[in-house]
Amino acid sequence: MRYRCSHLADSLECLLLERAFCSYSIKMAGPQGNNMPNSEQELRRIAGEIEACTRCPLSRTRTRPVPGEGPPNAQVMFVGEGPGRNEDIEGRPFVGRAGDLLNELLASIRLNRESVYVTNIVKCRPITASQPVERQSHEAKDRRPTSEEIDACTPYLERQIDLIQPKVICTLGDTATRFILERYKLKAGNISKMHGRICSAGNLKIVPMYHPAAALYTAQLKATMQRDFRKLAGLLEQTTLG
Ligand code: SF4
């Protein structure tokens, strides 16, 4: 198996993007690939395990765990860092303003949110400080998950990936990018250097991107994400439709 990361050459990229937008008609989830009824059942089983999970201290401060959502045969998976306040309340990934931006970016390349699988590295909200539990969901601030929390939780993500067998994994933000690239024995770097690259691990493509939450207040980052999503569109044109 050959592993590599590369930027699309600019001229080739323009050509591919033109083609992508002219002929783009994604069939994101098809009958081929994994055994869907079994995968669906198994994904539900994993979600049930997550609901009851007490493997790490985040179980004590969560409102609801957030296993992830999407079709069991999704060809594209988005992996973020962890649930935030809105996700913790609703038990669904990317439902706040960052989720709105993700939906907008997906729509910009004609991808339905319902056709992709969306999840996180850790399934319960990492928060700062040790306020009384009943006040935490309103007053606590989000933080990065610790390495212990990541170690405790990522077996769930790995099982989800193995079941879904996506063709493309888009990592959102530094933490998700590092974990996924290292899982596939690829060299990980800072997201400011890695974003927009197309990394190959056998047949799987990995596309690191900024986390939408980071782009909410910075127009420049949002423009960067829009460009990276257009690269994703070009990649999907080649890999999922080719
Ligand atoms: S973050 Fe993961 S490992 Fe920790 S309690 Fe939640 S589901 Fe379990």
Q: HSE-up of 71 (CA within 13 Å, CB side)?
A: 19
Q: Which domains does the chain have, with CATH numbers?
A: 57-239 (3.40.470.10)
Higher pLDDT, 13 or 68: 68
- Sheet containing 3-6: give its strands across: 3-6, 198-201, 204-209, 168-172, 76-80, 117-120
Per-residue pLDDT of 62-109, as tens digits, reads 999 999 999 999 999 999 999 999 999 999 999 999 999 999 999 999
Question: Which atom of ligand 1 has the smallest separation from the CA of 54?
Answer: 5
Residue 3 has a pLDDT of 54
Confidence of residue 131 (pLDDT cuts 50, 70, 90): low
Tell me how far CA of residue 54 lies from CA of 28, 57, 65, in angstroms: 34, 7, 11
Mean pLDDT of the chain: 87
Q: Is 123 in the pocket of ligand 1 (CB under 6 A)?
A: yes
Predicted structure pTM score: 0.87
Per-residue pLDDT of 140-162, as tens digits, reads 889 999 999 999 999 999 999 99
Q: Is 233 in the pocket of ligand 1 (CB under 6 A)?
A: no
Give the integer Cα–Cα distance in Å for 91 and 85. Answer: 10
Residue 28 has a pLDDT of 52
**Ligand 1 mean position to 52 CA, how many Å?**
9
Q: Are 154 and 123 in contact (CB under 8 A)?
A: no
Name the closest-CA residue to atom 4, ligand 1.
56
Q: Is 150 in the pocket of ligand 1 (CB under 6 A)?
A: no
Q: Long-range CB contacts (< 8 A, 24+ apart) of 127-136?
A: 127/61, 133/60, 133/61, 136/61
- What percentage of the chain reaches a pLDDT higher than 90? 76
